[in-house]
Amino acid sequence: DELLILLSSRRCVELMLHHVKNGMAQVVVASHNEQSIIKAMTLMEELGLQPGTEGVMFGQLQGMCDFLTYSLSAKGYHAYKYLPYGPLHEVLPYLIRRAQENSDVLGTTDVEKLLMLEEIKRRMKGGYGFAASSQL
């Protein structure tokens, strides 16, 4: 159930932010869900954790929700992009799962969809990690 997963992940973020405040943990809020990120930012504020607090980072997959990453960075949060690396036959299924799980994200802007398509084409043309068709 998607709602249960969302509530569970938000509770985990809340718990981890409390641990960060007490100097007991570090956390990466790895989400493409804008509401989840806003909730984490609100919790940080409630706990007195400033945007640049060491031990709190936000991350999104390269090419997805770039507007979130850029906005977080502009507000002083530690924001990162991650880029899966490896043979195409291993990386492509991962990217497809992320796209399916975040299908609502794919509709955010036509620009982001275009950028994702261009990156896939670039990788296919450049042969980066390209596997023989028998390995796919």
Secondary structure of the chain: what % helix, strand, coil (to 5)?
A: 60, 10, 30
- Flag whether pLDDT at 5 surpasses 80: no
What per-residue confidence (pLDDT) applies to 75?
A: 93
- Flag whether pLDDT at 133 surpasses 80: no
Q: Contact at 8 Å (CB) between 106 and 72?
A: no
Q: Which residue has the higher pLDDT, 10 or 114?
A: 10
Task: Give the list of residues 6+ apart from residue 45 with CB closer than 8 angstroms, or none.
Answer: none
What per-residue confidence (pLDDT) applies to 85?
A: 87
What's the burial of 56, exposed, middle or buried (CB within 10 Å: 0-12/13-18/19+)? buried
The model's confidence at residue 15, banded by pLDDT at 50, 70 and 90, is very high
Average of per-residue pLDDT across 113-118: 70
